[in-house]
Amino acid sequence: MDLTKTYPRSVHEKMLGLVQLPRTIDKAKAKLAGHLGEYNYDCPMDKALFAYLGIEGEWLLEVVKNAKSDADIETQLRPVVGKKSPAEIEKWNHDWLTAKPSGESWEHFVHLREKIAPGRTDVTSWPDLLDLDEKRPVPQRVQA
């Protein structure tokens, strides 16, 4: 995967029912190929996923390195993700996609949002901001 020429999959995309996982795998592939570009593997978002799954970033890199396809990667990850119940995964997905930054992170987020999508004050999560930055559509939301 060459992330100097394309984007990783959206945070919203799922593998084994889990958001963020396909994106992290894309970044692992790019790291192994030496084509991460502006992206970071094992960034805070990846680390949160690793913590949730109880794995290390280096372990996932090895899985990706030894896999011939996403199906091989899924086979290796299925027992790890399978330790979580469907309700736990659903909660993770919801919380992950809707969490708002706070404190200094919020200030940084707002600054980036104004550069990427001026006027989109309805965008309040990193997954949505990343989608906008990567030219994916993000529906306008009614603010509460």
Query: Phi and psi dihedrals of 3, rounded to 5?
Result: -80, 10
- Which tens digits make up the pLDDT trace of 64-87? 999 999 999 999 999 999 999 999
| 109 and 139 both lie in a single domain | yes
Q: Which one-letter DSSP state was computed for residue 2?
A: -
Residue-level pLDDT at 24: 97
pLDDT band of residue 143 (cuts 50, 70, 90) is low
- Which tens digits make up the pLDDT trace of 49-65? 999 999 999 999 999 99
Average pLDDT over residues 17-29: 97
What domain range includes position 126? Answer: 100-144
| 31 and 9 both lie in a single domain | yes
Name residue 74's amino acid.
Answer: E
144 pLDDT above the threshold of 70: no
Given 60, 81, 98, the domain boundary residue is 98
